[in-house]
Amino acid sequence: MYKYLLIIPALLIFSGCVNKHGLSIKYYSECDEYYDLQGYYHKNCGDDDVVTYKTMKKEAQKAIDYVMDEEEKPKGNVY
């Protein structure tokens, strides 16, 4: 019974697809590709992602700061 309780959430968590932008429902993100008036190529991807790597990094840093109980981190080499 406990085995099934552990397997079912793991399947739900890892049922999404991991691509180069983050975790999404589809493996290939739909991208908007276009050229602007000056002829530069633009490609916007990752809008349909559930969680992006940037969001995961921010939330992980918040969790680490909460656990380590740091009051203020230095901004560079100056304390």
Q: How confident is the model at residue 11 (pLDDT cuts 50, 70, 90)?
A: low
Q: What is the pTM of this model?
A: 0.48
19-57 burial: b if 16+ Cβ within 10 Å, else e: eebbbbeeeebeeeeeeeeeeeeeeeebeebeeeeeeee
DSSP at 53: H
Length of the chain counted residue by residue: 79
Q: Domain tally for the chain?
A: 1
On the question of pLDDT at 41 being above 60, the answer is yes
On the question of pLDDT at 40 being above 80, the answer is yes
In a domain, 73, yes or no: no
In a domain, 12, yes or no: yes
Cα 35 to Cα 22, 31, 43, distances in angstroms: 25, 13, 9
Question: What is the domain extent for residue 25?
Answer: 2-68
In a domain, 75, yes or no: no
In a domain, 77, yes or no: no
In a domain, 40, yes or no: yes
In a domain, 32, yes or no: yes
In a domain, 74, yes or no: no
In a domain, 78, yes or no: no
